[in-house]
């Protein structure tokens, strides 16, 4: 499909939807004139300047698929609202954490083509990590279209739906754990006398470089970590402190807590 024929509508104009739009626009995948977003108020719409914004129903009444990105206690109200306008040519894509394909299909007309995605915020800089799963009416064409669109925002893999909550704990939320780590690194350097702005820039570059090496070498992180440890040198002293603070177990607990919360949100 030509990008000029493709319409993308966002029900909910929040931070994650905005991040995906920025990724899509930067990659030239969809013209700005073909993007529409709805919100119940205009408090977040400043970030959407240059794009059209409207009411929920109108997003779906246009000739384009929808990406419901709202954060409400439960999606039922929003899906009930848009349901009358959902047509067989729409592809409904949900990025709502914890809401299953079964729930989406139950709340939409039975023939609706439903896809569920879990993105993360670095989509904004086209370095996102996304997974998606398809509902029973979504076929190869719909999956390929979604993958081609989202690949412009970063890594995008189709996975069994059972992995989506895990991906939420690992990566959707995981971005925040990494920011916390970056902050802690920089604060350690500030404590030792380095100016904060410089320490933050160096912390960010350290994370970027370490991530790039992981991806480009394909090595296990333990191997790369070992390469940094000069025998009797600085790094092993620091790692000993991190192990005493149970960093590894704490991070594993964090992924588990976020994954379990995503599962629980399905029941809210």
Ligand X SMILES: O=C(O)[C@@H]1CCC=N1
Structure tokens at 71: 């954060």
Q: Does 119 bind ligand NDP (CB under 6 A)?
A: yes
- Residue 7: DSSP 8-state: -
Question: Per CB under 6 A, which of residues 62..81 are in contact with ligand NDP?
Answer: 69-72, 78
Kindly list the residues in this chain that would bind ligand X in the complex (CB under 6 A): 97, 168, 172-173
* Helices and strands: H and E segment counts in the chain: 11, 8
Only segment of 21-29, 41-49, 215-223, 247-255 that touches ligand NDP (CB under 6 A): 41-49
Nearest to 6 by CA among 40, 37, 29, 39: 29
44 is in an annotated binding site: no
Contact region for ligand NDP (CB under 6 A) — 14-22, 27-35, 198-206, 209-217? Answer: 14-22
Contact region with ligand NDP (CB under 6 A), list: 9-17, 141-149, 158-166, 226-234 = 9-17
For position 51 contacting ligand NDP by CB under 6 A, the verdict is no
Beta bridge partners of 158: 132
Question: Between the CA atoms of 214, 216, 217 and 223, what dihedral angle is there, to the nearest 10 degrees?
Answer: -10
How many Cα neighbours within 13 Å face the side chain of 48?
26
Min CB(97)–ligand X separation in Å: 4
Helix axes 174-191, 196-217, angle to 10 degrees: 130
Residues 87-106 touching ligand NDP, rule: CB under 6 A, are 95-97
CB-wise, 75 or 199, nearer to ligand NDP? 75
| Binding site, annotated residues for NADPH | 56
């Amino acid at each position: 499909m030509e990008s000029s024929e493709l319409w993308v509508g966002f029900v909910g104009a929040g931070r994650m939807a905005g991040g995906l739009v920025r990724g899509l626009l930067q990659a030239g995948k969809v013209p700005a004139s073909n993007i529409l977003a709805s919100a119940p108020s205009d408090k977040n719409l400043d970030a959407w300047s240059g794009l059209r914004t409207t009411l929920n129903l109108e997003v779906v009444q246009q000739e384009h698929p929808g990406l419901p990105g709202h954060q409400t206690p439960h999606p039922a109200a929003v899906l009930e609202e848009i349901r009358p306008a959902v047509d067989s040519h729409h592809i409904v894509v949900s990025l709502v954490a914890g809401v299953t394909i079964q729930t989406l299909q139950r709340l939409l007309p039975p023939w609706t083509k439903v896809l569920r995605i879990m993105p993360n915020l670095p989509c904004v800089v086209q370095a996102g990590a996304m997974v998606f799963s398809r509902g029973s009416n979504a076929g190869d064409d719909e999956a390929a279209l979604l993958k081609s669109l989202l690949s412009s925002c970063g890594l995008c893999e189709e996975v069994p739906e059972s992995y989506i909550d895990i991906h939420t704990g690992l990566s959707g939320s995981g971005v925040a754990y990494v920011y916390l780590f970056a902050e802690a690194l920089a604060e350690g350097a500030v404590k030792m006398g380095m100016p904060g702005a410089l320490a933050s820039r160096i912390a960010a570059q350290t994370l970027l470089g370490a991530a790039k090496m992981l991806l480009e070498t394909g090595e296990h992180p333990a191997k790369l970590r070992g390469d940094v440890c000069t025998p009797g040198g600085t790094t092993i002293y620091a790692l000993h402190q991190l192990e005493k603070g149970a960093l590894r177990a704490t991070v594993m607990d964090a992924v588990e807590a976020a994954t379990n919360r995503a599962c629980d949100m399905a029941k809210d």
